[in-house]
Amino acid sequence: MSKSAQMLKHFTVATVSNKTVTKVVGLVGLSLASMVIDEAIGLIKQYVWRNYVTELEVSNTDKSYNWLLQWISKHNQQLLHFSVTTVCRNTESAHATSKFDYEPNAGEHMFKYKGHTIRVKRDRSTILSSEYGSRPFETLNLSTWGRNRQVMNEILEEARLYAMSIMESGTTLMVPSYDTWHNFGEPRAPRSLSSVILDEGVIENILKDIHNFVDDKSWYLDRGIPYRRGYLLYGPPGCGKTSLIMALAGDIKYNLCVLSLNDSKMSDDQLVQLMGEVPSKSFVLLEDIDAMFANRDGKTVIEGSTKVTLSGLLNALDGVVSSEGRILFMTTNYVDRLDSALIRSGRVDFKQYIGTCSDHQLSQMFIRFRPEGTEDDKKRFVEDIKKYNKPVIPAHLQEFFLVHRHKELNYVFEHINDLWQNVQDIQLTE
């Protein structure tokens, strides 16, 4: 091979090699530049986000979580992506109705609020486990451009007021949900106190005591007395104990937290947690408390539960973590079965026997269900019942009037004995 040919060969190889090296170096340089640019963009985004974006994060373990979901779905028609909960219930006319409750689904949403663009992100992550059970863990993130913390405060306050307005539209029932309270269905129409007919003075005395308690908060605090009140209503079943509590809650616009200790998942720790987080303006109802105890020795436990003990219940009622301002109602058909420690002063401050119908109740229920009757008819009704010398349960009397609501008065008088059909012996211990 000639000398010139060899030089041409070496030149060609060198040129190709240099081009390959150049390409490799160029690709490496581009990659490094891309990484630097991405890192710079990320730092800029992080800086801008931290300094010029206001963000609010709320988890589903916080009370305001459901407030925000309700408010966002109700007041922002700009949202297009929802999840739905179907609520079915029967009306007073026995017709079934359905209602769809919407809330933003998982993902990102945008809406306008007072000229601000609000970005909403709802995340559902892994299951959150605790000693109270397992549940999905969710977060709700609200963010907006600029340093607008006041905007978030206003949204939270509007959501709270909206939730409160819903609850105050009726009597809201609340039940335990893990370690906190959760609304059970829609608020119910408040029951009128006039619809509950008890012996003279019973309702008035309890209502007066409740109002005195609510109005005397400073008196309790000034003297270092725990600001709590406990009521025990006892007597035969069907005499109006639960109806009275519902009517009292409706009259003073309180909610009703219903607590069942027979839940097999309930524990002492969960009970303490629930009693320490009772929502404001709420009654706590422990219904048929006598049925919850399996025995009365020093190791008393709640029947149906392996985790709740009497000492745990007592600690939840008046321990250091028990919520202030709480009003507790307990009902029982057999007061003699209750442990004395449960109903001592400080845990139960007001005891009221709710028994069978007195003459006053008989006459008032007659007027309520048979308003066409005369004064003589009312007296005759009371006297005819007294001739049998048998106690009358208010629930049975109400059922009697319902069954014979389309009958003539004479028919009602002739069939008064129907009141005691299929009625077992009634405990009358006061």
Q: What is the pLDDT of residue 256?
A: 93
pLDDT in tens, 396-426: 999 999 999 999 999 999 989 888 876 655 5
The string of pLDDT tens digits covering residues 199-230 is 999 999 999 999 999 999 999 999 988 899 99
Q: What is the pLDDT of residue 366?
A: 95
What is the mean predicted confidence (pLDDT) over 315-323? Answer: 82
pLDDT band at 270 (very low <50, low <70, confident <90, very high): confident
Examine the pLDDT at 19 and tell me if it is beyond 80. no
Q: Provide the pLDDT for residue 263.
A: 74
Which residue did the predictor score with more confidence, 28 or 303?
A: 28
Q: Quick check: 283 pLDDT over 60?
A: yes
Q: Whole-model pTM?
A: 0.73
- Residue whose entry in the numeric block shows the structure tokens 């309180």: 254
Between residues 90 and 69, the one the model is more confident about = 69
Q: Over the stretch 150-186, which tens digit does the pLDDT of each residue have?
A: 888 998 898 888 888 877 777 888 888 777 788 777 7
